[in-house]
Chain A
């Protein structure tokens, strides 16, 4: 007597036998599924990271320009020289400001989208957030260069609203000012802010979306007014999203080497430094040491965030 139900498909063919095998040995299936990505992560990603780290402990022979493959901290010493250290400070300050302002701008937008927007409005929200990501990064940065240029839209608007004086006053400030917005740190900042905003909004929105309405009602029920509810329930629960968003904006600003080249004063940012050191200058060890900086900074950032309990609500 056959155990198969009448009409059940007969078991033959190599594919069917394979699927039977996977059914009986799910771990084998899992191993097969995970091997390619793990190989990729292990070899291509972690491997190159290790190679990078190793390179940063080599040095360059000043006369021949050849890499000396011996352990030394000389390259890191070079990193701390004022010219190089300034680059690091400049980049970190820029990344921090972009992250801070990004968070401040993104939160209300994300909050509205998560708590109030429904149906069509929500679809429109996603569209508006994602739309910029559909066009080339370069096109958008160049567009901003035009907007911020001396003959650009911003100047035009300032002229016609009688705020030209304000704009000029801002541009005459030290550090943040410059000949025009497109040739100043302010311009670089604005473009970064624009570029990375979606990466801040979406994780915050996702984390707010997961806060059940009943939690907010419970806080109100127990005597918390809107402000208290926000500070004790909504904000802590959104914190993992804020941290995730800030990791994006912070890391993306730290590593970017195109935006400051197109919009901004001619001073270097970290990414540009890496680019010139490994390209024109051919100083791979210093380039490697420069690239280790954002990794270390992100490591510190994540550790501090974890200590402060940013991931407790995960």
Chain B
């Protein structure tokens, strides 16, 4: 069961011994006793307790109670300050930190590259040498190309920690990201930003920004009567916050899971409906067809709260307005016109008491039709039979889903970020989700919502203050999207990268490796030797969130709470906290005055300068007194979005996208996935659909070297017996996964939960976890022009990928 059985780990801090020749080169640099004595010297064998919020990127933000004995972390439990069990949680990964923090796989000292880039040969150097090397290269780059030529890029997990360095360096820093926004790209413009769309206090800033976030928070699910989960495996992906779904089921909601594979959500749902990968938009369009055919829509909602009655010029495709067409960059007055049946006249939509949903009007010799008529006409070419053929879901089942969704009284549509969100037609799916809402009015009410339940809280999110830099100290916006850097002309010559974003947030990773190799200098800041660190010239050893120099290591506002990160232990080995690394660099650049001198000062600034009334009175002292967690004043009420209005210029749900006219997607039209479509001729060569999923033991690339989680599983691919038989494969065989972009080698396991024709794999494994290559060598990096015109811009179609599998 355990990969380490029989190997004594007693002297667990003996040496690095990790990647390639690293151990040999760095030999003798560490000494177990030395590192530990600094933490334990003088401590009595008594215990002390600290509270901290743990991870961000699993979406759970658990506040944990940590017990230290002799200066070491011995116990990690849920923070019992929370009365509500929904918040009082920890997961398998949180507990595995007991080992992972002390892992001999950590980057222990600053490391300097000695071999070629990619060879992972490093020698240990001092912090002084490391900072000198970094600053020498910063200055070289600045002199030659200017400050913006330096990229400071952080993974999602690291970004909140690096709030200072990009400004201090005047570095380019990441813009929009191309990930987790596939459906939001098509849904959110229809809803608009949610700020101010309800008269209740408390906001959720990200809603409507392009992330397909759930319009109601998960606590609302218990009011749902029908929950349709599509490509969502929240029981593993957002493990600690998923119990709400079972509570909803116990309260009487019917759970229907649509997924190509038998996910854990599928296993727990009342019904599992298998679907062909890449066809979720067809499912939604088919549902819309049924709802329209059977007239199950909510006419009152359509008239009052959507753009269905808006009149569209049949020649130009533009909507008829009271005033001029809004010029680029000018505010849209939201002054679209409708035909008011009450007065039988043309009026502004907000003045009509009975706007017509249907009917052709000729005004000044121009023919106008309503958005609804165009929508219905559009659907006529997509009957439910077509949806059935594409999705492989029987017609009767599609009809049943559509009817149940439209007529339950309170329905929620719940997606994930891992399936169709990473396929090129995701925006069309998102746009159709908005159409389903427009038809049924399933939004802004108890139990009626839509969005990705991929982040466990999605509750209120208070706005904290931020550090004020002196005049002129500020970062620049990266002009090219990070994942497009390998493909587009850009001004980046040096990169400082915290966290393995390069391997996880770019597809076709060999191209990213080439880009990294071509940079003048790469500095990695990390706790572990992951995949991108192989390409670094310098690695700075970061401390984990449990370790800090000062008494506090962060504050955040999430899910209706403000939470504190208290110090558990001193930084281990020769690591430093992210905060300290930033301050050290600022000081060496003579900019010490531009940054706070302690994390405590930063935390106080963030709390004291917060403009948010819902956290008034919350201070560092009050947080400490309350075990590091305090609720926002609105937390007693469940957050629901778009209750009173939408955030669009007309304040209505605007389904009609004029900017998509050049692409024929002003209303959603089916389009097959760019690569994974069933009819793609490439399937002759690469017949298998390849996608990754979020494992319960990892947060993407995090925890892949966790000895406690590796007790349970390591890297592998899974396939159905049919596909294994066709290739003469047995469970445990070593296989090669191949396409034109690249290949990798790992073992294959039989799992009948996997849909025939598919290969699946937990996401994020490091190069050293597989036997050759990298899982990300296969994924699709092509982009569609259409996406660049949407709210979030280009997306990465990671899951729009075909491969072949053969015995290695």
Whether both chains belong to one complex is answered with no
**Which B residues contact A (CB, under 8 angstroms)?**
none
